[in-house]
Structure 1
Amino acid sequence: MTEKTGPRTRVVVIGGGYAGVLAANHLRVDDSIDITLVNPRPSFVERIRLHQLVTGSDDAVVDYGTVLGEGIELAVDSATKIDVSARRVELASGGSIGFDYLIYAVGSTGAAPKVPGAVEFAYPISEYEHGEPLRAAVAAAAVDAPICVVGAGPTGLEMAAELAEEGRRVTLICGAVMGPYLSTRARRSAAKRMARLGVTVIDGPDANATEVLRDAVVLADGRRIVAAVTIWTAGFGVPDLAARSGLSTDTVGRLLTDETLTSVDDPRVVGAGDATAPSDLPLRMSCQAALPLGAQAANTVLNRIAGTPPKPLNQAFTGQCISLGRSAGLIQIAHLDDTVTPLYIGGRAAASIKEAVCKGTVSFLSREARKPGSYFWLKGGKRQQKLAAQTVSP
């Protein structure tokens, strides 16, 4: 930690998820910075464990005392507006917090479903607050009652497998393909696991939900899939705080930044995590992307305070980890630019790796809290080539 004398700098971090916590902890390398983390919940939520919250195999929360560094002020509140010109964050409680620099790390949430009946009759599972209502609904349903999971991305796959392993009768409505990110070989492995668990998988060109009823899901081809409980996992969105605050966003609502993660509107606003779109070319929404983005956002702020040029983002992916119940998983191996390879790991070995990743993510945050600046990440990923291709494309 660098000890300095002189005027102090106030940095507000909005969002206490993976990116926000890492950013706040990383800022502590400079002890002349006063750091406030604004988050609506008093505990850190492990979003990658929310499917376990539903079945009770994990509570999906960690005390902030474990992952947040000493001296960081935690404001349990919601930001309602960022007043960039006045350099203040307005809060739902009626108060406000001033800042010299702001890190925007509000994360992602489930996309608002546009399918008729989905809001009324389907249960989302993209936020911690969704967990208990869904858990109660599943518990209230008979053991052999049909449960329908809509969406076959990582969340859908994990939720379907978790429930099926508990003996529940599950139908997975995939849309065109199950696990669109996965390679053909990995997708086949996931399908075999679902078959062993007794999950009915519905995919293909007409396997899109067109309506959700109280007791069924209607597909594009007219089929009605009976469901005592319907779980909606299709798509992600982001909070609209940036747009409401007059900041430039992409079509999804992510904060538009340059390659240093600096807002295109104001050099004192820096983005991190799922709600950020660097050069209008956002990274895949994931904690794998969020942690390095949090560290790099903090570095950009530190550079600006020091009067040195911030560096462009530089990070890579390794793939995707999916749990398929407690006893099996799937690790899709990817190139550094996040394009998949044919390679994957399945079965119990993959389950062990996934659990190690979940624990390791919290460990990264905790270590950065104890020793600011210790976090390191994989770099590369051919981002400059992607940006060049984006520039020349018609």
Structure 2
Amino acid sequence: MTESNTELTSRPAAPRVVVIGGGYSGTLAANRLRLRPAGQVPDVTLVNPRPKFIERIRLHQMLTGGYDASVDYGTLLGEDINLVVDTATRIDADVRCVRLASGGSLQYDYLIYAVGSTVATPSSVPGVAEFAHAIAEFESAQQLRDRLDELHTDAPVTVVGGGLTGIEVAAELAEQGRRVTLVCGGRLAPTLSEPGRRSVARTLARLGVVVRHEDVVAEVRSDAVVFADGAVRPSAVTIWAAGFGVPDLAAASGLRTDSIGRLLTDETLTSVDDPHIVAAGDCAAPSGAPLRMCCATAGQLGPQAADTVLSRIAGSVPAVFEYGYAGSCLSLGRRAGVLQVARKDDSAINVYFGGRVGAIVKEAICRGTLWGIRRAARRPDSAFWFTGGPRPEQPVPAAKMATEG
């Protein structure tokens, strides 16, 4: 039956929702927005600087040429979602408009801010920006892979950062025969339990990784690393994996953020400045207590940010977000790994699975994460997150924040 022009014009326009960022959180949010609240079908646009989805949890596997961490969006996004390959440069909240690097702009009724995180480059350590390589972005991982391909396997490689990302990178390279030094600047794998840390240390030793626990990097040079005690050690390639920061889009747009630029939100993930802006993933700081930067957090916050927007479109009160963790996992090369079991508040318990079992579980989680996004593209109601987790006003331990990729 064909509708008349009168009927068509009397129907309210579809609410426009723009999602900035096509990582784990943003992609899941975009897919869930297709739940169609109160019969309305939101017009969803996803803005991302790359034409492909990046499996960030596999970027360390790119370094040895054994994995392509990019995936076509065609299988990951619902067919009604409009993908715009561009970079958001400013959010004009007063007129509800996103300015793009191409010179274009996108009007919105609601905005989901899911720009993710990137490497934290400390200005206090000379030479990091000029000479150190990062692993937090697809392009920087490609550049690092190309640089490693130019070097003999005996060339010394230094990885700075004793968190999960640094450990994964060090183990991946060492398994391929690289001479790797891992500089912790303190405790190795601080978010793991003591038994889990011992398992990691044993595997790194077996792979030949030299772990420097107490050394602190004072300067990075093109061919060396200078330590706080004055020691200078050769390094053909230095990889910086000492924590994450976030893009400055929110702060540059005049929105309130925390000290490193995460958008401040209330417990519904809504910006404290604007009810039409909702945040998800690594770039969100709900109630001033941001969660651990990791895929597990992004996978929970993305769908719930979409639910907040859908509630506002439907004229209902958004729910307070819920979250919880089961643990964390890391690969130690391709044949070993560690699955650390944790409480819902992300505090580790003295239970872990290591060795080959740990590697199998980690691979299953990586595959399952991509499978979950594909499933959400087909069934937007399929998202799952833990319930009964801690409320965001309960501060997350500092050791849990900005340490995992």
| TM-score class normalised by the smaller sequence | over 0.9
CA contact (8 A) 2:226 2:232 kept: yes
* In 2, Cα distance between equivalents of 1:236 and 1:160: 17
Report the AA paired with residue 288 of structure 2: D
Greater alpha carbon shift after TM alignment, 132-141 vs 95-104: 132-141
Mapping 1:1-394, distance limit 5 Å: 6-30=12-36, 32-114=41-123, 115-204=125-214, 207-383=215-391, 386=394
Q: Specify whether residues 241 and 388 from structure 1 end up closer, same or farther in structure 2 by C-alpha distance, changes over 3 A only.
A: closer
CA contact (8 A) 2:287 2:393 kept: no
* In 2, Cα distance between equivalents of 1:388 and 1:231: 28
* In 2, Cα distance between equivalents of 1:119 and 1:90: 27
Q: CA deviation at 1:101?
A: 0.3
Name structure 2 gaps, 5 residues minimum: 1-10, 398-405
Report the AA paired with residue 270 of structure 1: V
Q: CA deviation at 1:255?
A: 0.4
SS of aligned partner of 2:90? strand
Q: CA deviation at 1:213?
A: 1.3
CA contact (8 A) 1:81 1:244 kept: yes
CA contact (8 A) 2:291 2:396 kept: no
What's the TM-score once normalised by structure 2's chain length? 0.93
CA contact (8 A) 2:289 2:392 kept: no
CA contact (8 A) 2:290 2:396 kept: no
Report the AA paired with residue 228 of structure 2: A
Greater alpha carbon shift after TM alignment, 118-127 vs 377-386: 377-386
Report the AA paired with residue 90 of structure 1: R
CA contact (8 A) 1:337 1:380 kept: no
Q: CA deviation at 1:291?
A: 1.1
Q: What do the CA deviations read for 1:136-193 (whole angstroms, capped 9, x no partner)?
A: 1111111111111111111100000000000111110111111111111111110000
Report the AA paired with residue 149 of structure 1: V
* In 2, Cα distance between equivalents of 1:209 and 1:304: 48
Aligned length: 383
SS of aligned partner of 2:288? coil
Q: CA deviation at 1:381?
A: 2.1
CA contact (8 A) 2:17 2:110 kept: yes
SS of aligned partner of 1:124? coil
Report the AA paired with residue 216 of structure 1: A
Partner of 1:392: none
What's the TM-score once normalised by structure 1's chain length? 0.95
* In 2, Cα distance between equivalents of 1:22 and 1:243: 24
Report the AA paired with residue 302 of structure 1: L
* In 2, Cα distance between equivalents of 1:13 and 1:388: 27
Q: CA deviation at 1:387?
A: 6.1
CA contact (8 A) 1:337 1:383 kept: no
Q: Specify whether residues 385 and 109 from structure 1 end up closer, same or farther in structure 2 by C-alpha distance, changes over 3 A only.
A: closer
Report the AA paired with residue 93 of structure 2: V
Q: CA deviation at 1:214?
A: 1.5
* In 2, Cα distance between equivalents of 1:263 and 1:18: 20
Report the AA paired with residue 195 of structure 2: R
Greater alpha carbon shift after TM alignment, 17-26 vs 143-152: 143-152
CA contact (8 A) 2:48 2:83 kept: yes
Report the AA paired with residue 175 of structure 2: E
CA contact (8 A) 1:11 1:99 kept: yes
Q: CA deviation at 1:388?
A: 12
CA contact (8 A) 2:287 2:392 kept: no
Which consecutive segments of 4 or more residues in structure 1 shift more than 6 A? none
CA contact (8 A) 2:76 2:377 kept: yes
* In 1, Cα distance between equivalents of 2:186 and 2:350: 20
CA RMSD of aligned residues (A): 1.4
CA contact (8 A) 2:263 2:285 kept: yes
* In 2, Cα distance between equivalents of 1:320 and 1:387: 19
Q: What do the CA deviations read for 1:305-337 (whole angstroms, capped 9, x no partner)?
A: 111100011110111110000000011111000
* In 2, Cα distance between equivalents of 1:210 and 1:155: 21
* In 2, Cα distance between equivalents of 1:213 and 1:298: 45
* In 1, Cα distance between equivalents of 2:350 and 2:388: 20
* In 1, Cα distance between equivalents of 2:336 and 2:97: 47
